[in-house]
Structure 1
Amino acid sequence: MKKFSYLLMLMMALTACNDQPKNDEIADNIKTEKPEPAIINEYGFILNDYEVVRDTIRNGDSFGVILGTHGVDPNKIFEIVNKVRDTLNPRRIVVGKPYVILKERDSAQTPKAFIYENDLVNYTVVDLRDSINAYTAKKPVTITKKTVAGMINSSLSEAMEDAGLNYLLAHEMSNIYQWSIDFFRLQKGDRFKLVYNEKYINDTIYAGIENIEAAVFYHEDKPYYAFNFMVDSVAGSRDYYDEKARPLQSFFLKAPLDFFRISSRFSPNRFHPVQKRWKAHKGTDYAAAHGTPIKSTANGVVIASSYTAGNGNYVKIKHNDTYTTQYLHMSKRAVRQGERVKQGEVIGYVGSTGLATGPHVCYRFWKNGVQVDPFRQNLPSAEPIEDKYIPSYFATIEPLKDELGQIEFKESI
């Protein structure tokens, strides 16, 4: 019996010894197994397949310099620039904008794509993989509808800030109501309600305001309604109208800049700061930071885009047989003679070229060939809604008006 027990114990020990290496091997296999890397799909590329370089445009950078820094031959750069200039104009890349370069995963690390981010949503791809090709695209965007009510204690921007809202909403409202309400003369107790849409990239990254669908602003206890309506389904253009289908916008914007201060008004006799003499100043000067975008105040055709010693870089636009405008002292021009531009389109950037003491745009305005002060003109309204769209308009705004009515004001913001 003792012999049997001894043999049994010996067999168990041998079995345990034989199993140990197998267990160790299994443990080693478990430890060395690595999870598959997540697939990163961005800009229409699988980024895992490339060496990814992310950077921003800096002072002194140019499209050619960036490509050259990453190993592209000068002759190749010349070919690329000529092929893509209609899609990505190398002269119009802006300092501070992000870009991405995708490189081959080899010792040469040859660039295969250059991606320029025009803004948070739109980007331009210069694809160098097979043949040189350039195109624009958008990041995936979702739209979220929101509602809010606010009360004015001192200013619209402060009311927005108190309500935890993006300051761009104040800018949008100022644009919508610029011909109806003087936002420099708001009164304490004025209030507003909004139905608006926000944009998010990949459902998480805030990308700004899409639009304001509907608004009502109570100024001196009078309600001013605004509803966003598509007036041209082919062009996709939209505008704002009140509860009776009347346009809120004018034929002209009030100013060619979004953020500014008026440094000098139209005057028959003003002391010129550069020429040091009294002379007529037949324009309105809007002071703003160097590089601020300048917008066309109405639809029209560019009849001049040039430079003179006095005007510096300037653009002149004919809007119709009655009205013409001109924009002086630009740091650079963004349109060419013969181009058709829309109201609000960027035509240049604030500078101090020509006879200017600081960064500003001198805005000149002609009516029937005579320079006049635009602030003293009874300017035409925007185009009304065509009669055939009126029933559709009222059907569209009815639920929006109900939605505005259901938004409640808070006791304090």
Structure 2
Amino acid sequence: MKNIVLLLVCILSFLSCKKEEKKPTPVKIIVPEPLIKYGYNLDKFTVIKDTILSGESFGTILDKHHVYYPTINKIAGAIKDVFDVRRVRAGKPYTILASKDSLEKAQVFIYKHDKINATIVDFKDSIITAIRHKRYITLRERKVTGIINSNLSVTMDSLGLSPSLTWSIADIYAWTLDFYKLQKGDSFKFVYDEKFIDDTIFAGYGDVKSAVFNHKGQDLYAYRFIADSIKNIAEYYDEKGNMLRSQFLKSPIKFQYRISSRYNLKRRIAYYGNRIKPHKGTDFAANIGTPIIATASGTVLESARRGGNGNYVKIKHNSTYATQYLHMKKRKVKKGQYVKQGEVIGWVGMTGNTGGPHVCYRFWKFGQQVDPFREKLPSAEPLKESLKPAYFKYIKPLKYQLDYNKLPIKKPDVLQSIVQN
């Protein structure tokens, strides 16, 4: 009997030990996910990141990475319709995907135009390709308000905003506001988008959606609206549907200038013995290097340096009008090039006959130089009457947002409310 009890105790003790035994924890093998970027598994390449230096070309970069000139010429010819290799610029970042061996020969060249856009040139196989790549961006709406204390650019800078956004606002109001004549206490509000890559990396500004500038106690509204769905070109209109853009800008300089001499056919100059020497232009004085912009779209007739004009550009806008810009430090455009209104065509300088930094702005009508400030110049196309009802409906919440710092609360449809109840 004693032996049976001892046997039972042993069996129970054994079962208890088996119960307490822990099963071994299975070992998880974590396989890292491949790093995919620009459509490539970067783990399969040697990734080389660099920046184009002054004097470097597409050819010298590839040659440095063991792709030689017969092949480089072949690549350039194959992709010329998508990417002109002659247009790579110093200061732009690029990435080379090279073979993962001791030679590290380049197989893919990625040229980054900006934070969002890139061109990918793939020559690792016999088929050479070049494609445009655009990173996914998200937009965040922002609203900013400011009060002018000195000028627009200083005020915007004090708010921590980029000069590019200042230029956007200046573009919108270039036809209705003289930024040189802003008064202390003038104010503005505008709603715009900011671009972000992966929701974290700031990638610049999007469109200015709406704005209001209070100047001399008057509210000047501006709303971005696409009136032509075929061309898909947005314009800015006021609260009455009038386009803010005119056919000609008021000035070839956006802001921070003064008119030092006006068009005057009876001007006398002491330097020439107080003789009458007509001045057939308007002088806009500004600091050397200030951008000069085309006051209207057109084709460059002349871009040269000659005599008292110094560096100058002349633009033909149509069969009636042409404009000319003198004494530039440097010209940006070439003869035959088409330029858009507001595009930079050069920079203020002191070339030719000039006593100080300025641009002499000359205005031609039917081949004769005239005073643009006394001409009744044509305006841009107005908003079509058929589009005005849709436009007024579109801007109603935008105006409310500007006036009250928030969007209106949308009231539920009456019929929908009845159905729900």
Deviation at 1:63, TM superposition (A): 2.2
Query: What secondary structure sits across from 2:95 in the alignment?
Result: strand
Find the aligned partners of 1:327 and 1:205 in 2 and give their Cα distance.
40
Deviation at 1:118, TM superposition (A): 2.1
1:183 to 2:179 alignment: yes
1:228 to 2:224 alignment: yes
Mark the CA change 1:260 to 1:148 in structure 2 (over 3 Å): closer, same or farther. closer
Query: What secondary structure sits across from 2:391 in the alignment?
Result: helix
1:207-226, aligned counterparts within 5 Å? 207-226=203-222
Deviations 1:122-173 (A, max 9, x none): 2223232333333333221111112233223333334334444444333222
Structure 1 equivalent of residue 193 of structure 2: 197
Q: Tell which deviates more after alignment, 169-178 or 391-400.
A: 169-178
Find the aligned partners of 1:46 and 1:279 in 2 and give their Cα distance.
70
Structure 2 equivalent of residue 68 of structure 1: 63
Kindly indicate whether the alpha-carbon contact (under 8 Å) linking 1:145 and 1:197 is maintained by their aligned counterparts in 2. yes
Deviation at 1:243, TM superposition (A): 0.5
1:242 to 2:238 alignment: yes
Find the aligned partners of 1:313 and 1:38 in 2 and give their Cα distance.
56
Structure 1 equivalent of residue 142 of structure 2: 146
Query: What secondary structure sits across from 1:181 in the alignment?
Result: coil
Query: What secondary structure sits across from 2:103 in the alignment?
Result: coil
Find the aligned partners of 1:313 and 1:134 in 2 and give their Cα distance.
39
Normalized against structure 1, the TM-score is what?
0.74
Mark the CA change 1:351 to 1:184 in structure 2 (over 3 Å): closer, same or farther. closer
Deviation at 1:214, TM superposition (A): 0.9
Q: Tell which deviates more after alignment, 366-375 or 250-259.
A: 250-259
- Choose 1 or 2 for highest CA Rg: 2
Q: Tell which deviates more after alignment, 355-364 or 380-389.
A: 355-364
Higher RCO (CA < 8 A, seq sep 6+): 1
Normalized against structure 2, the TM-score is what?
0.73
Deviation at 1:364, TM superposition (A): 4.5
Deviation at 1:398, TM superposition (A): 0.9
Moved over 6 A (4+): 266-272, 285-290, 311-314, 351-354, 356-362
Amino acid at match of 1:160: M
Find the aligned partners of 2:247 and 2:174 in 1 and give their Cα distance.
12
Structure 2 equivalent of residue 80 of structure 1: 75
Calculate percent identity across the aligned residue pairs.
43
Kindly indicate whether the alpha-carbon contact (under 8 Å) linking 2:179 and 2:254 is maintained by their aligned counterparts in 1. no
Mark the CA change 1:115 to 1:372 in structure 2 (over 3 Å): closer, same or farther. farther
Find the aligned partners of 2:360 and 2:72 in 1 and give their Cα distance.
38
Structure 1 residues without counterparts, runs of 5 or longer: 1-7, 9-22, 273-277, 409-413
Instruction: Choose which of 399, 402, 411 in structure 2 pairs with 1:401.
Output: 399
Amino acid at match of 1:56: T
Number of residues of Structure 1 aligned to a counterpart in Structure 2: 380
Structure 2 equivalent of residue 137 of structure 1: 133
1:173 to 2:185 alignment: no
Find the aligned partners of 1:102 and 1:353 in 2 and give their Cα distance.
48
1:386 to 2:381 alignment: no
Structure 2 residues without counterparts, runs of 5 or longer: 1-9, 11-23, 272-276, 407-421
Mark the CA change 1:73 to 1:402 in structure 2 (over 3 Å): closer, same or farther. same
Kindly indicate whether the alpha-carbon contact (under 8 Å) linking 1:177 and 1:248 is maintained by their aligned counterparts in 2. yes
Find the aligned partners of 1:266 and 1:136 in 2 and give their Cα distance.
49
Q: Tell which deviates more after alignment, 247-256 or 203-212.
A: 247-256
Deviation at 1:228, TM superposition (A): 0.6
Find the aligned partners of 2:259 and 2:98 in 1 and give their Cα distance.
50
Query: What secondary structure sits across from 1:246 in the alignment?
Result: coil
Find the aligned partners of 2:245 and 2:223 in 1 and give their Cα distance.
12
Deviation at 1:239, TM superposition (A): 0.9
Instruction: Choose which of 365, 368, 373 in structure 1 pairs with 2:366.
Output: 368
